[in-house]
């Protein structure tokens, strides 16, 4: 498993290093570089921050400072089931923050984090364009409108049941 993680990290590092080499070493390229990395790897690994800082010859804390300022950047790999909770105005006034808190409590992670088994990640997002359904959460690619704190557990349970069902079917087909 550790070997697997190591290989994955190494692959990410090599990819970033080869791509960043094509970009001029100028501070103005910082955000486009971070966007490029996130687009390719879905998050900004700590190693990426270091490589970017070295490439642009600026302190690591400056890269972190910029990356954390914009909430488009993630610092953890997304889970297999990414959960996005809308906290745009319409969702916020309809207690979107309580929905977010409920997901955080059930999964024991905070906004921007991923569960240790990499199954779930939580992210707060700005308006996703269906305010009439507020408050809204998106689980995988499905929009769940008129969310209520009491629906959070059911949603997570359904994913768990589907996962177990898929595993059972896989085992059956292997036997």
Which residues lie near ligand FES (CB under 6 A)?
A: 86, 88-91, 127-131, 134, 136
What sign results for the dihedral spanned by CA atoms 64, 39, 41, 23? negative
The conformation of residue 85, written as its DSSP 8-state character, comes to: E
Query: In the bound complex, which residue of the shown chain has the CB atom lying closest to ligand FES?
Result: 88
Q: Nearest distance from residue 94's CB to ligand FES, in Å?
A: 8
Token pair listed for 136: 């809204």
CB-neighbour burial class of residue 140 (10 A; exposed 0-12, middle 13-18, buried 19+): exposed
What's the half-sphere exposure (Cβ side, CA atoms, 13 Å) at 55? 24
The conformation of residue 27, written as its DSSP 8-state character, comes to: G
Token pair listed for 48: 């990426």
Q: Nearest distance from residue 76's CB to ligand FES, in Å?
A: 23
Token pair listed for 147: 């969310």
Nearer to ligand FES, 44 or 102 (CB): 102
Nearer to ligand FES, 31 or 128 (CB): 128
């Amino acid at each position: 498993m550790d070997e697997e993680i190591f290989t994955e990290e190494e692959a990410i590092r090599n990819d970033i290093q080869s791509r960043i080499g094509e970009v001029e070493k100028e501070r103005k390229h910082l955000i486009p570089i971070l966007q490029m990395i996130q687009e390719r790897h879905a998050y900004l690994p700590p190693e990426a921050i270091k490589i970017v800082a070295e490439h642009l010859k600026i302190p690591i804390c400056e890269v972190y400072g910029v990356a954390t300022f914009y909430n488009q950047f993630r610092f953890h790999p997304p889970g297999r089931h990414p959960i996005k909770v809308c906290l745009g105005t319409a969702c916020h006034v309809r207690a979107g923050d309580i929905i977010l808190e409920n997901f955080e409590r059930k999964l024991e992670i905070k906004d921007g984090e991923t569960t240790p088994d990499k199954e779930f990640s939580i992210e707060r997002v700005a308006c996703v364009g269906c305010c009439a359904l507020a408050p809204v959460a998106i689980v995988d690619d499905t929009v769940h409108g008129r969310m209520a704190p009491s629906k959070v557990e059911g949603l997570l349970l359904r994913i768990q049941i589907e996962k177990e069902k898929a595993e059972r079917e896989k085992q059956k087909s292997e036997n």
